[in-house]
Amino acid sequence: MLAYRHLFHAGNFADVFKHALLAQLMLGLAKKDKPFFCLDTHAGTGHYDLGHEWARKNAEYKSGISLVWNRTDLPAEMTPYIDAVRAENADRKLNFYPGSPRIMRRFMRAHDRLALIELNKRDHETLAALFANDRQVQVRLLDGYQALKALLPPSERRGLVFIDSSFDRAQEFKRLTDGFVEGHRKFATGVYALWYPLMDAIAMQGFERRMAATGVKKILQLELAVRNLGVAGSVRGCGMLVVNPPFEFEAAARKIVAWLWPVLAENGEGSQHVRWLVPE
Ligand SMILES: C[S@@+](CC[C@H](N)C(=O)[O-])C[C@H]1O[C@@H](n2cnc3c(N)ncnc32)[C@H](O)[C@@H]1O
């Protein structure tokens, strides 16, 4: 039984960061006519009620999407993301938050496909119900790392693999790296987005070293810290590694991350950076 439930965290700063970048990756894929395939290995429930008692418990969205929602100075690069959040809310009031499945689905054309993988039975049921009538979306109760072996390479030979683990088990950085290597071995031309929490320096250096040692090129690293130290139950920041980013993604991502930092940072703390962990 998995203890992690994303409803407790929906719309937090990490969601804003990952989903704003995810929207840009999807836009990049949709620029070419050729069909694409998307795989979300840790999909969650796809749609979150911020009024639910779980979401209200720590109200993480208040230091995430709530800080962005009413801003009038959003850079153009944030528009695809904020439009996706607006689409979940009938009026201008923020009541619901989209998960990665709904965000990805929004950018697909009639010939694109999406596979959503979720290991928690209850969350899988909710997610399956949300996409029950959608023939372009396949929802599976499966280990996301197994899905990398089972579903790659896609027949389209183009696509995005989003690995967004809840990091609620020990050794997750190793599992993430090994899973990525497995996927990349089968589908080297795919775009990969790997989300991770910022942990202690030794863990972070180990992860970067292992990723660099895979021999895979074109790994863009994006990080956002919202405070200098982690507090109980919450990390100080998070990052995303994007492998084979689409053309123009880097420039958009730099603007997004630079804009988000002062908006989401607590008391001017934290930091942000975008750099090539491994260049071309
Ligand atoms: C961070 S949440 C996902 C959030 C979602 N990607 C989004 O952006 O809206 C991680 C999800 O992965 C699920 N999960 C945990 N371990 C998994 C595994 N090995 N395979 C697939 N799903 C897993 C959890 O139940 C949880 O719903």
Question: Among the atoms of ligand 1, which is closest to the Cα of residue 10?
Answer: 9
Residue 31, SS3?
coil
Query: In whole angstroms, what is the distance from residue 134 CA to residue 193 CA?
Result: 24
Active site residues: 164
Residue 80, SS3?
helix
Is the CB–ligand 1 distance for residue 9 below 6 Å?
Answer: no
Compute the Cα dihedral for 7, 21, 219, 31 and give only its sign: positive
Is the CB–ligand 1 distance for residue 82 below 6 Å?
Answer: no
Question: N- to C-terminal Cα distance for the chain?
Answer: 41
- The two tokens of residue 137 are 């979306």
CA of 124 to the centre of ligand 1 (A): 10
Query: In whole angstroms, what is the distance from residue 271 CA to residue 95 CA?
Result: 29
- The two tokens of residue 10 are 């929906």
Q: Homologous superfamily of 6-220+238-256 in CATH?
A: Vaccinia Virus protein VP39 (3.40.50.150)
**What b/e readout covers 125-135, taking b as 16+ CB neighbours within 10 angstroms?**
ebbbebbeeee
In tens digits, what is the pLDDT along the chain, a chain of 280 residues?
567 898 989 999 999 999 999 999 999 999 999 999 999 999 999 999 999 999 998 999 999 999 999 999 999 999 999 999 999 998 889 999 999 999 999 999 999 999 999 999 999 999 999 999 999 999 999 999 999 999 999 999 999 999 999 999 989 999 999 999 999 999 999 999 999 999 999 999 999 999 999 999 999 999 999 999 877 777 899 999 999 999 999 999 999 999 999 999 999 999 999 999 999 9
pTM of the model: 0.97
Domain boundaries, the chain: 6-220+238-256
Is the CB–ligand 1 distance for residue 12 below 6 Å?
Answer: no
